[in-house]
Amino acid sequence: MAQRLSMAVGSAFKALSNPSREDMVAALGEVTGTLALQRMRTRMATDATGRRLLRERPVINTSTVSLSELRALPKHTLGRAYVSFLDIEGVSPDTRTPVKHMDDTDDELKYVMLRYRQVHDFFHVLTGMGTTLEEEIAVKWFELAQTGLPVALLSGVFGPLRLNSSDRKLLFTEHVPWLVQCGSSSKFLMNVYYEECMHLPIADVRQQMGIFLPPGFVPKDALIQD
Amino acid sequence: MNHRITQAFDVCIVGGGIVGTALAASLSSSPFTAHLKVALVEAGNLYSEPEIRPASFSNRVASVTPASMRLLNRIGAWDRIPADRKKAYTQMKVWDASGNGAIAFNAPMTHSASSIGWIIENDWLKSSLAQSLSSSVTVFNSSVVAGIESPAGSGSDWPVISVNSDKGNGPTIQLKSRLLVGADGVNSLVRKYAGIESIGWDYPQKAVAATLEIEGVEGNRNDVAYQRFLPTGPIALLPLAENKSSLVWSASPAIAAKLLSLSAEDFAIFVDVAFRNPIEDLTYLLSRIQPDGSLPKDLDLKAEAVWGQTRLETANTFKIGVPPSNTSLPRVVGVAEKSRAAFPLRFYLSDRYVSDHRVALVGDAAHTVHPLAGQGLNLGLLDVATLTNVIEEGVQAGADIGNIHTLQGYAAERFAPNLGMMMAIDSIGKLFRAESDPVVWARSFGLNLVNTLPGFKNLAMKAASTL
Ligand SMILES: Cc1cc2nc3c(=O)[nH]c(=O)nc-3n(C[C@H](O)[C@H](O)[C@H](O)COP(=O)(O)OP(=O)(O)OC[C@H]3O[C@@H](n4cnc5c(N)ncnc54)[C@H](O)[C@@H]3O)c2cc1C
């Protein structure tokens, strides 16, 4: 326990001083978030789709999802928006750190953590946010409202310290109020079977999930070229 | 009123429920009080036939403690209940669905009794008591007490009780009695006559009772009672016979209505889920019951239940909701036809048990509690034992048994213990309905602590069963 605690504290400091240490952010999430994870699991277990996910445990990676098929989808679809996000950011679903610091006994909880990591990219896609530092922090606030994971709180609170003052102003006057409201009023995004929604128009998915965009805001998917 | 007959009694008992009938039988069987003229007035049918078919059980049952058993034995009622209609249980397993507290009680730890208690149908209790009444008791069956008056200026202060006999078709009879006992249940008319205040509330819960068919009982004897505390209220499984158990499931009126609307098959699965699955399974599955009691086509209830039961073991870091170790719960395989019914749950407390109107209250008329600890009837039978003693002593001392000074002895002995038990039952109910983390941790800690300290457990057991 003491060892886990010092690992949590250590990774908190490292994550703050160096945002590229993704493995450290991940470790932080795992050891601090068990209770919040339990709560996420409970919300999944009380929803029809969430239960199906827990039972089937689908994994999003390049062997289960064909990126080239997604690239061939019409540009207004969720799948196309997702793959274009991956392409622009130069990331792949495979680059997400596997879950390794958690107790071995509860495979389902490990799966919830893994799924949470994997659907993180969909949080960006659905909110239309890129991955600049201030967008990343804004999405953390959305996640915090959705999941209550402490790592989201830490990044949401401490992350902005590293922004310059005009970015910080934009973050707190525009992005954060919208995304916090959006995150708490929309449906729980862990209860979505994204694999089955790829071909759907992203506008429909947003509407179904209760995600609204502020007036004048241009989501990243609106910039996709044919 | 064309026919007005007046009869005088030493004791008039209004209400021939189990408690009122037990008092009449107790007085008529005691050598010190057998000479007293006793009237017993019951609105319903005191002599209704209890169920005798071996595999059939009424849904109204009570857990009878060793202390109550001793009273029934002394009255002569105990042996009138056939052996296969009083099911002894020797273990009680209690656990928390949203924490990891669990506790197991065993009979040998309690006094000398070999059973924690017996599960007996209310109808059998009542009929065995009715058969034990001797000729000193005059029964006014199917007769309603319509009013009670204190006669003004007649020189006597004995209450006058108007009885509409024979379902209102017979004459109105007037009874005068030295002592008037209210055994007329939660809405007691006698209590109102005596000007005794009753305070309390209806719980936002109903109890769904049913007779269940079960399989795979622990040790093949079905002698374990189970109770799991769900955040919506406790659910209890009480043994009746080798493969039959009685269910008492307390839940919100909305959930109770849903449970009653389900098909028998689905209902059996829901009971299993309530005992065996993580709490979120029950929440989820209840949310899918349609207004007409059906389940959506896309929902495979059986599969969801089975999958969830494996999750209780494998997907449960903190062992939340797991029964005490070495428990193998019986499986519910059926519900007896028409045995499902919902009952209101209440907490009512009379501020006095006796008054100078020559009145004493017993049973639910004096105190009504939540059935979660199976104590309501047992408290009533303890009232009967004490009131009998007080009347016996009064008779021996040549005192007026209707006088408040005589009756005070009864109130003094019963009021405080009943109140203590009532408050304990109510706070247990509240405690387990709470879902905030600190409360759940504290009660898990408390239950587990009690479970590991034999002294503690003995004490709790004594308080619960042999008070
Ligand atoms: C679901 C459920 C489960 C329970 N389980 C248990 C258990 O396991 N163990 C336990 O100890 N207790 C249990 N109880 C409580 C127990 O059933 C009651 O405490 C007990 O039955 C009360 O008996 P009583 O004779 O005092 O009152 P009642 O049973 O209410 O009897 C009152 C009688 O008075 C008659 N009456 C009323 N007014 C008049 C009138 N004006 N004129 C003539 N007659 C009148 C009625 O017809 C009735 O027969 C349970 C209760 C419920 C609801």
User: What is the CB neighbour count within 10 angstroms for residue B315?
Assistant: 21
For A145-149, B173-177, B198-202, B395-399, which range has the lowest pLDDT when averaged over its residues? A145-149
pLDDT of residue A160: 66
End-to-end Cα, chain B, rounded Å? 48
Q: Count Cβ neighbours within 10 Å for each residue of B348-368 and write b for 16 or more, e otherwise.
A: bbbebbbbebbbbbbbbbbbb
The closest residue, in CA terms, to atom 46 on ligand 1 is B15
Q: Cα distance from B316 to chain A (closest Cα, Å)?
A: 7
Choose the closest CB to B317 out of A46, A55, A109. Answer: A109
Contact status of A1 with chain B (Cβ, < 8 Å): no
pLDDT of residue B249: 96
Residue B56 CA: distances (Å) to CA of A222, B52, B59, B78, B451: 69, 7, 10, 20, 36
Mean pLDDT of chain A: 80
pLDDT of residue A3: 52
Contact status of A56 with chain B (Cβ, < 8 Å): no
The residue that leads in pLDDT, B459 or B330, is B330
Structure letter (DSSP) for residue A161: G
Whole-number Å distance between alpha carbons of B461 and B467: 9
pLDDT of residue B240: 96
pLDDT of residue B422: 83
Mean pLDDT across the stretch B205-223? 91
Mean pLDDT across the stretch B66-80? 96
Structure letter (DSSP) for residue A62: T
Q: Cα distance from B296 to chain A (closest Cα, Å)?
A: 11
pLDDT in tens, A62-76: 888 899 999 999 999
Query: Does residue A51 contact residue A44 with C-beta atoms inside 8 Å?
Result: yes
Query: Taking CB atoms and an 8 Å limit, are B311 and A105 in contact across chains?
Result: no
pLDDT in tens, B392-413: 999 999 999 999 999 999 999 9
For residue B387, with 0-12 CB atoms within 10 Å meaning exposed, 13-18 middle and 19 or more buried, which class applies? buried
The residue that leads in pLDDT, B325 or B110, is B325
Mean pLDDT across the stretch A144-172? 69
Choose the closest CB to A45 out of B278, B314, B318. Answer: B278
pLDDT at B1 over 50: no
Kindly list the domain boundaries of chain A, sorted by start residue. Answer: 2-223
Q: What is the 3-state secondary structure (H, E, C) of chain B?
A: CCCEEEEEEEEEEECCCHHHHHHHHHHHHCCCCCCCCEEEECCCCCCCCCCCCCCCCCCCEEEECHHHHHHHHHHCCHHHCCHHHEEEECEEEEEECCCCCEEEEEHHHCCCCCCCEEEEEHHHHHHHHHHCCCCCEEEECCCEEEEEECCCCCCCCCCEEEEECHHHCCCEEEEEEEEEEECCCCCCHHHHHCCCCEEEEEEEEEEEEEEEEEECCHHHCCCEEEEEEECCEEEEEEEEECCEEEEEEEECHHHHHHHHHCCHHHHHHHHHHHHHCCHHHHHHHHHCCCCCCCCCCCCCHHHHHHHHHHHHHHCCCCCCCCCCCCCCCCEEEEECCCCCEEEEEEEEEECCCEECCCEEECHHHCEECCHHHCCHHHHHHHHHHHHHHHHHHHHHHCCCCCCHHHHHHHHHHHHHHHHHHHHHHHHHHHHHHCCCHHHHHHHHHHHHHHHHCHHHHHHHHHHHHCC
Query: Taking CB atoms and an 8 Å limit, are B314 and A106 in contact across chains?
Result: yes
Share of chain B above pLDDT 90, in %: 69
In this prediction the pTM is: 0.84
pLDDT at A50 over 60: yes
Task: Quote the distance between the C-alpha of residue B46 and its chain's center.
Answer: 18
pLDDT of residue B118: 96
How many angstroms separate the alpha carbon of residue B18 from the centre of ligand 1?
7
Name the pairing type of β-strands B160-164 and B172-182: antiparallel
B209 CB within 6 A, ligand 1: yes
Work out the pLDDT band at A180, boundaries 50, 70, 90: confident
Contact status of A103 with chain B (Cβ, < 8 Å): yes
Q: Count Cβ neighbours within 10 Å for each residue of B9-48 and write b for 16 or more, e otherwise.
A: bbbbbbbbbbbbbbbbbbbbbbeebeebebbbbbbeebee
User: What is the CB neighbour count within 10 angstroms for residue A123?
Assistant: 20
pLDDT at B266 over 80: yes
Share of chain B above pLDDT 70, in %: 90
pLDDT of residue B464: 53
Name the pairing type of β-strands B172-182 and B4-14: parallel
B63 CB within 6 A, ligand 1: yes
Contact status of B282 with chain A (Cβ, < 8 Å): no
Work out the pLDDT band at A10, boundaries 50, 70, 90: low
The upper half-sphere exposure of residue A71, i.e. CA atoms within 13 Å in the direction of its Cβ, equals: 6
Contact status of A48 with chain B (Cβ, < 8 Å): yes
pLDDT of residue B425: 79
Tokens at B92, concatenated? 């009680």
Work out the pLDDT band at A216, boundaries 50, 70, 90: confident
The closest residue, in CA terms, to atom 53 on ligand 1 is B343
Tokens at B373, concatenated? 């600890």
pLDDT at B16 over 60: yes
Query: Taking CB atoms and an 8 Å limit, are B304 and A51 in contact across chains?
Result: yes
pLDDT of residue B161: 96
Share of chain A above pLDDT 70, in %: 73
Q: Furthest-apart CA pair in chain A: how many Å?
A: 54
The residue that leads in pLDDT, A4 or B361, is B361
B17 CB within 6 A, ligand 1: yes
B43 CB within 6 A, ligand 1: yes
Mean pLDDT across the stretch B137-158? 90
pLDDT of residue A58: 95
pLDDT at B358 over 90: yes
Q: What is the 3-state secondary structure (H, E, C) of A99-159?
A: CCCCCCCCHHHHHHHHHHHHHHHHHHHHHCCCCCHHHHHHHHHHHHHHHCCHHHHHHHHHH
pLDDT at B234 over 80: yes
pLDDT of residue A147: 75
pLDDT at B449 over 70: no
Mean pLDDT across the stretch A93-116? 77
Give the highest mean pLDDT range of A3-17, A116-130, B95-109, B289-303: B289-303
B19 CB within 6 A, ligand 1: yes
Instruction: For residue B299, list chain A residues with Cβ-Cβ distance below 8 A.
Output: 48
Give the highest mean pLDDT range of B110-114, B258-262, B433-437: B258-262
pLDDT of residue B3: 52
Work out the pLDDT band at B239, boundaries 50, 70, 90: very high
pLDDT at B437 over 80: no
The residue that leads in pLDDT, A4 or B15, is B15
B330 CB within 6 A, ligand 1: no
B14 CB within 6 A, ligand 1: yes
pLDDT at B378 over 80: yes
Mean pLDDT of chain B: 89
Mutate to test the interface with A, among B279, B283, B284 (most CBs of A within 10 A): B284
Work out the pLDDT band at A2, boundaries 50, 70, 90: very low
Contact status of B405 with chain A (Cβ, < 8 Å): no
Choose the closest CB to B281 out of A38, A45, A105. Answer: A45
The residue that leads in pLDDT, B62 or B451, is B62
